[in-house]
Amino acid sequence: VKTAAQWAEFGRDHVCHGLGRLRDHVIVKGSGLDLYTAEGKKLLDFTAGIGVTNLGHCHPHVSRAAAEQVNNLVHLQCSISFHAPYLQLIDRLLPAMPHESLDQFFFWNSGSEAIEAAIKVARQATGRQNMIVFSGAYHGRTMGSGALTRSKPIYTQGTGPLMPGVFSSAFPYWHQLGVSPSTSEEELVRLAEHQLDLILRQQVNPKDVAAIFIEPVQGEGGYVPVPPAFLRHLRDVCDKHGILLVIDEVQSGFFRTGSYFAIEQLTPELRPDILVFAKGVANGFPISGIASNKELMGKLDVGSMGGTYSGNAVACAAGIASQEVYQSGEIGQNVAERSKQLYAVLNGLAESSKTKHLIAQVRGMGLMASIEFRNTSDPLTLEGIPEGTAVPKNIGKRVQEYCLNKDLIILTTSCFDTIRFIPALTVNEEEIDRAMKIFTEAVENVAR
Ligand code: PMP
């Protein structure tokens, strides 16, 4: 029998070197927001598996449904026949869709695969090749989804050439446009629209563009909600040129931002041509999917879509149980209350005379919240601080390290010096309070 330390050593020896880790803990159990190591240490998880276990680790209703399904049917290849949980999950998702036209579904396992499916549908249905994405975007790491990812070169470096025909336009975020953090939303939208316009005039004929992909709250790129006016503009551009609008709600979906899908709050009337979802749909069981309309999906040849594990029965059962909890109404309410509590602390830090010289911006939506620190190598973030104020280096990493040492797990994003807060949506008042006390201490410690 190996000790926890020996298992960690075993992991370092045998788990692919290319897989990074924050810590070498060996986790043996999860419950709610708590994770337990093999040594019995309890950690407070403010990552929820990066927005996956939205209902907390091992939510009893979801685990029970999965356990029951294991005894009925684990797997049926979806091109053999329908299976009941596949259909029942669609039945549960239909009323949750942000637009009534989204009534055709295809399931996959991961977010990246669902993005691949969206690429394939967009190309097949339009007969066009090219895609437009936004700077800072994260859509996955496979060869197609990786080609759409623009947040960090490490995800695909050394693996090219990736899928050709991808054009990247500026996301309406001050960093991506090279303007100050206090630039108005209106101005950000104007600048980003201009960038897109240039691409469609100078780089690719709009008639050759199959789809525009966008995350309504850019995730890896820094937890930046897209201004509603920009989303509406994209819809207009797509309508004008016959381009499909693909909304990637892989990270922002399933009440992460306070509503089932983020676009419900941003642009209630918006019609996505394809909606991509994953992560929170089954609270940790691997299932993802795309939803689209009859006209579009009807253009596909029968047999062109498929895959051995499309819509695994246990994952579907977990997905149904998860929707039952989401649809109870309690989750949205909790996100509203707890996010208010969390932002009050973050905004307090951004206003406090002790710490405000460290902070460039607080942003996010619901429990997809972030704080961006100033960075001396990044002059844009230094706006508004009195000359001569000393800004420490690597604030984000140092704050994260402090929290990890206090057994609070928090994540940075790929974007500069940003920390994100993405706890389970069932987080209670005491847990937010405990985490934010540690976080405040961490920031004050760096300020000293
Ligand atoms: N799209 C978005 C917006 C994501 O955040 C992610 C994962 N972080 C993906 C796609 C890819 O999902 P997966 O890791 O399940 O392949």
- Three-state DSSP string of 309-334: CCCCHHHHHHHHHHHHHHCCCHHHHH
Report the nearest atom of ligand 1 relative to the CA of 110. 15
282's enclosing H/E stretch is: none
- Considering only CA atoms, which residue is closest to atom 12 of ligand 1? 111
Burial tier of 236 (Cβ tally within 10 Å: 0-12, 13-18, 19+): exposed
Distance 446 CA to ligand 1 centre (A): 31
Copy the structure tokens of residue 389: 């104020």
Examine the pLDDT at 360 and tell me if it is beyond 80: yes
Model confidence at 387, in pLDDT bands (50, 70, 90)? confident
Please name the CATH architecture into which domain 44-56+330-447 falls.
Alpha-Beta Complex (3.90)
Q: Is 214 helix (H, G, I), strand (E, B) or coil?
A: strand
CA–centroid distance, residue 189 to ligand 1 (Å):
25
> Residue of the nearest CA to atom 1 in ligand 1?
139
- Cα 140 to ligand 1 centre (Å): 5
357-369 average pLDDT score = 97
Find all residues with CB under 8 Å of 252, minimum gap 6, and list them: 215, 216, 217, 219, 261, 262, 365, 368
What would the two tokens of residue 75 be? 């797997």
Ligand 1: which of 107, 279, 368, 412 to mutate, most ligand atoms within 8 Å of CB? 279
Q: What is the pLDDT of residue 415?
A: 82
Out of 107, 109, 139, mutate this one to test ligand 1's pocket (max ligand atoms within 8 Å of CB): namely 139
* CATH 3.90.1150.10 residue ranges for the chain: 44-56+330-447
Ligand 1 atom index nearest CA of 220: 5
d(CA 356, CA 354): 6
Q: Which tokens in the block code for residue 256? A: 């992460």
Using a 6 Å CB cutoff, which residues line ligand 1?
50, 110-112, 115, 138-140, 215, 219, 248, 250-251, 278
- pTM exceeds cut of 0.90: yes
Distance, CA 39 to ligand 1 centroid (Å)? 31
Residue 117 Cα to ligand 1 middle (Å): 13
**Class of domain 61-326 (CATH, top level):** alpha beta
- The whole-angstrom separation of Cα 128 and Cα 87 is 31
pLDDT band at 305 (very low <50, low <70, confident <90, very high): very high
Ligand 1 centroid to Cα of residue 28, in Å, is 25
Residue 403: the pLDDT is: 98
Contact 393, 402 (CB under 8 A): no
CA distance 358 to 349: 9
The single residue listed with the structure tokens 């869709």 is 97
Using DSSP, state whether 46 is helix, strand or coil.
Answer: coil
Whether 416 shows a pLDDT value over 80: the answer reads no
- Report the relative pairing of strands 274-277 and 34-37 from DSSP bridges: unpaired
What atom in ligand 1 is closest to the CA of residue 278? 15
End-to-end, the C-alpha distance of the chain in Å comes to: 46
Tell me the β-bridge partners of 290: 106, 276
Atom of ligand 1 nearest to the CA of 276: 1
Pick the range with the lowest mean pLDDT from 250-259, 271-280, 295-304, 382-391.
Answer: 382-391
- What is the pLDDT at residue 386? 84
Q: Measure 384 CA to ligand 1 centroid, in angstroms.
A: 35
Average pLDDT over residues 333-359: 97
Rounded alpha-carbon distances, angstroms, from residue 417 to 176, 252, 319, 432 = 14, 21, 34, 22
Instruction: Give the strands of the sheet with 288-292, arranged side by side.
Output: 104-108, 288-292, 274-277, 244-248, 209-214, 130-134, 166-169
H or E element in which residue 105 lies? strand 104-108
The pLDDT score that the predictor gives to residue 388 is 85
d(CA 433, CA 439): 10
The answer to whether residues 430 and 342 touch, using CB atoms and an 8 Å cutoff, is no
Complex ipTM: 0.99
pLDDT at 129 over 80: yes
82 Cα to the center of ligand 1, angstroms: 27
Q: Which residue's alpha carbon is nearest to atom 10 within ligand 1?
A: 139
**111 Cα: distance to centroid of ligand 1 (angstroms):** 5
CATH 3.40.640.10 residue spans of the chain: 61-326
pLDDT tens-digit series, residues 56-97: 999 999 999 999 999 999 999 999 999 999 999 999 999 999
Atom 13 (ligand 1) nearest CA:
111
Nearest Cα to Cα of residue 427 among 54, 20, 161, 1:
54
Angle between helices 330-351 and 429-447 (to 10 degrees): 20
Alpha carbon of 8 to ligand 1 centroid (Å): 27
Structure tokens that stand for 121 in this block: 């549908």
3-state secondary structure of 59: coil
- When the pLDDT of each residue in the chain is averaged and rounded to a whole number, the result is 97
- pLDDT bucket at 414, cuts 50 / 70 / 90: confident
The closest alpha carbon to 397, from 381, 410, 407, belongs to 410
Query: What mean pLDDT comes out for the span 298-320?
Result: 96
| Burial of 141: CB neighbours in 10 Å, binned 0-12, 13-18, 19+ | middle
Whole-number Å distance, alpha carbon 381 to ligand 1 midpoint, is 27
Q: What is the pLDDT of residues 192-245, one digit of tens each?
A: 999 999 999 999 999 999 999 999 999 999 999 999 999 999 999 999 999 999
For 164-179, the pLDDT digits (tens) are 999 999 999 999 999 9
Residue with CA at minimum distance from ligand 1 atom 14: 111
Best substitution site from 19, 112, 156, 256 to test ligand 1's pocket, by max atoms within 8 Å of Cβ?
Answer: 112
Residues 6+ positions from 305 with CB-CB distance below 8 Å: 106, 117, 120, 121
Q: Looking at ligand 1, which atom is closest to the CA of residue 215?
A: 3
Separation CA 406–CA 420 (nearest Å) = 17
- Tokens for 205? 């004929």
3-state secondary structure (DSSP) of residue 244 = strand
Question: What is the spatial distance between Cα 436 and Cα 442, in angstroms, rounded to a whole number?
Answer: 9
Provide the residue count of the chain: 448
Residue 144's SS3 state is helix
